[in-house]
Amino acid sequence: MANTLKDKKVLILGGSSGIGLATARAAADEGAAVVVTSSRKEKVVAAIASIGGRATGEVADLADEAQTRALLERVGSIDHLVFTAGESLMLGPIATADLGAARRAFELRVFGAMAAVKHAAARIRAGGSIVLTHGIAGARPQPGFAVAASICGAMDALTRALAVELAPVRVNAVSPGFVRTPLWGNIPETEREAMFRETGRKLPVGRVGEPSEIAEAYVHLMRNSFTTGQTVIVDGGGVLT
């Protein structure tokens, strides 16, 4: 039995750009009342205008538990929580890794997700769900991906643990592969496009992914009432190469 998102309240933490914004649009297209967040007000305003419909927004630094708690108090009861927040990926050899930067990455992507679930779980209505995010680096790491792979592994385990602890609230995750998103914005455009072409050429589907394609997995996990504790990989076959 698949549920509809029509008239459901969906909170998307990190929903102002990339995969989060695409998921917000997809949920709104199904009739959901979407709430998106960012740490920057101008991004929230732009996202709301882009989504249209009944979209609203909130500003909060999700690496700060106090701000996350206050955010959930403002938003109130919800049907679905989606966590897609994250800054640019931290890549590079472990020998030269900035462990302070690595800790900050964990603060947002792992502990930020934990804080969101901590303060949202009791506000999720019957039949609702939580959808977290990690990536295929945990299953298919490359040289220089130690920090990214560690975050992905932590989120994968957290998803399963929360599905048991919070039942009957469903908890799942989406694991995107190589996707054309603003997370790669710290790479010069020419190099970035060359990277997309070269990486896409090696994938079975012949190209990198688009945010709208990944968003379909989040919508599926929100709608499907018999799925919990699972990670859906959407990577164009990346774990196979």
Give the CA distances from residue 233 to residues 35, 69, 175, 194, 240, in Å, rounded to whole numbers and listed in that order: 25, 30, 5, 24, 12
Give the residue carrying structure tokens 């996990």: 221
Question: Is the pLDDT higher at 15 or at 230?
Answer: 230
| For residue 1, pLDDT beyond 50 | no
- Beta strand 9-13 with 33-38 is parallel
Using the CB atoms, write b or e for 94-103: b if 16+ within 10 Å. Answer: eeeeeeeebe
| For residue 2, pLDDT beyond 60 | no
C-alpha torsion 240→216→119→16, nearest 10 = 100
Q: Which two tokens stand for residue 178?
A: 């190589």
- Tell me the pTM: 0.95
The CATH code for residues 9-233 is 3.40.50.720
Per-residue pLDDT tens digits for 46-67:
999 999 889 999 999 999 999 9
User: Any idea how long the chain is?
Assistant: 241
What pLDDT score was predicted for residue 205?
98
What pLDDT score was predicted for residue 30?
95
Per-residue pLDDT tens digits for 123-177:
999 999 999 999 999 999 889 999 999 999 999 999 999 999 999 999 999 999 9
Strand-pairing partners, residue 234, are 176
User: Is residue 145 a contact partner of residue 135, using CB atoms and an 8 Å limit?
Assistant: no
Q: Quick one: which of 162, 171, 175, 174 has its CA closest to 228?
A: 171
Q: Where are the beta strands (DSSP E) in 60-212?
A: 78-83, 124-133, 170-176
Q: Quick one: which of 173, 85, 69, 74 has its CA closest to 121?
A: 69
Q: What is the mean pLDDT of the chain?
A: 95
User: Is residue 27 a contact partner of residue 78, using CB atoms and an 8 Å limit?
Assistant: no
The domain spans of the chain are 9-233
Main-chain phi, psi angles of 72, to 5 degrees: -65, -35
Give the CA distances from residue 22 to residues 48, 82, 117, in Å, rounded to whole numbers and listed in that order: 12, 12, 21
Distance separating alpha carbons of residues 47 and 69, to the nearest angstrom: 22
What pLDDT score was predicted for residue 183?
82
Task: Compute and round to an integer the Cα radius of gyration of the chain.
Answer: 17
Per-residue pLDDT tens digits for 60-102:
999 999 999 999 999 999 999 999 998 777 788 999 999 999 9
What pLDDT score was predicted for residue 87?
77
Task: Identify the burial level of 153 via C-beta atoms within 10 angstroms of its C-beta, where 0-12 means exposed, 13-18 middle and 19 or more buried.
Answer: middle
Which percentage of the chain shows pLDDT scores above 90? 89
